[in-house]
Chain A
Amino acid sequence: NAGVTQTPKFQVLKTGQSMTLQCAQDMNHNSMYWYRQDPGMGLRLIYYSASEGTTDKGEVPNGYNVSRLNKREFSLRLESAAPSQTSVYFCASSESAGVLSYTFGSGTRLTVV
């Protein structure tokens, strides 16, 4: 099925470890986004990529880096994980930054101990 695929679905890290969350979309969308979802905080934008070759910070970029590898793939890296980064991470895409609706992946549940 066409859509946004995130891997892994679950991950447990120790404090200080690094990891990369992968996201790929097969809808030929130009724009991609990384969100984190925390209880009582709703969805917060970490980074986004309006088009291939560009990335920009969102509301909560500290502690993260991103790479727009090509039009399909947008990865999120935690260089030195902290317990405060325990969250559910969602990748999303849209046809362009100006398009109204997003398609979301099913999420990665990350626990940092």
Chain B
Amino acid sequence: GNSVTQMEGPVTLSEEAFLTINCTYTATGYPSLFWYVQYPGEGLQLLLKATKADDKGSNKGFEATYRKETTSFHLEKGSVQVSDSAVYFCALRGNAGNNRKLIWGLGTSLAVNP
């Protein structure tokens, strides 16, 4: 079945550092890929998505490119801020039958220090 693997945290960075959170997936066909963010004490929010190979999702300075050849959807940001401290979840949704449910990674906690 479909699955998502993302790098374990916690990740601790200084403000203005470059961020990469790795996410790889296993799926049949052409899934859609997502990054969600969960700020402390809140529910998850959609950060960005990509629905086909080579698509780049972007939002709030974050980017991720759907790489079918490496089955990856790594999240990047060029210069993190303290306000980016949160837990980031990679997710996948297949495109047929039971595979259409969202499959979640375990989450990566990011702490950004001033």
A→B interface (CB under 8 Å): 4, 40-43, 45, 48, 58, 90, 92, 97-98, 100-102, 104-107
Shortest CB distance A60–B (Å) = 13
Chain B interface category by residue count: 10 to 19
Nearest opposing residue in chain B for A90, CB measure:
B43
Residues on A with beta carbons closer than 8 Å to the beta carbon of B61: none
Residues on B with beta carbons closer than 8 Å to the beta carbon of A105: 43
Are A45's CB and B43's CB within 8 A?
no
Q: Mark B76-114, 1 if CB is under 8 A from A, else 0.
A: 000000000000010001000000111011110000000
Residues on A with beta carbons closer than 8 Å to the beta carbon of B89: 42-43
Residues on A with beta carbons closer than 8 Å to the beta carbon of B49: 100-101
**Any chain A CB within 8 A of the CB of B32?**
yes
A43 to B106, CA, bound (A): 7
Residues on B with beta carbons closer than 8 Å to the beta carbon of A100: 32, 34, 49, 51, 93
The 6 closest A-B pairs by CB, nearest first: A104-B43, A42-B106, A43-B104, A104-B44, A101-B46, A106-B43
Shortest CB distance B31–A (Å) = 10
A98 to B89, CA, bound (A): 20
Shortest CB distance B97–A (Å) = 11
Residues on A with beta carbons closer than 8 Å to the beta carbon of B32: 100
